[in-house]
Amino acid sequence: MACAHEYIMRNAGLEEAQAGIKIAGKNINNLRYADDTTLMAESEEELKSLLMKVKEESEKVGLKISIQKTKIMASSPITSWQIDGETVETMADFIFLGSKITADGDCREALHAAVHKVAESTQLSG
């Protein structure tokens, strides 16, 4: 399955796509871990375009995106999305590799958790 996932992402043309966010001068529009993918864009239109490219490439190899597992998070209000007649859920936050990502960029919870882990490890080693 990992090979199919990589094949789909490469053929969707995400590396060449202009959509994404700039990090250290590089355009980033997707993060992948195992069979999970996070798509990122500056605008709702760009994000829809990325998602549709992935959807189309998935269908070419006989796979279907699970709309129930697909979520949207935005830092500004967005319209309700429908894909194949199903509404895509909008989230205020999500967990990515153990870190809470919020639409407003608030990282206090992640910092608190990190401080707590450091305090625990200090107590264990002391």
Task: Quote the CA–CA distance of 20 and 41 in Å, as a whole number.
Answer: 4
Mean pLDDT of 34-41: 85
pLDDT tens digits, residue range 63-77?
Answer: 999 989 999 988 888
pLDDT tens digits, residue range 80-95?
Answer: 889 999 999 998 888 8
Task: Quote the CA–CA distance of 84 and 72 in Å, as a whole number.
Answer: 16
- The answer to whether 106 and 99 have CB atoms below 8 angstroms apart is no
Q: What is the pLDDT of residue 110?
A: 73
Closest CA to 90 of 75, 76, 72, 102: 72
- pTM strictly above 0.95: no
Task: Quote the CA–CA distance of 71 and 74 in Å, as a whole number.
Answer: 10
All residues at 6 or more sequence positions from 104 whose CB lies less than 8 Å from its CB, including other chains: 75
Q: What is the pLDDT of residue 124?
A: 63
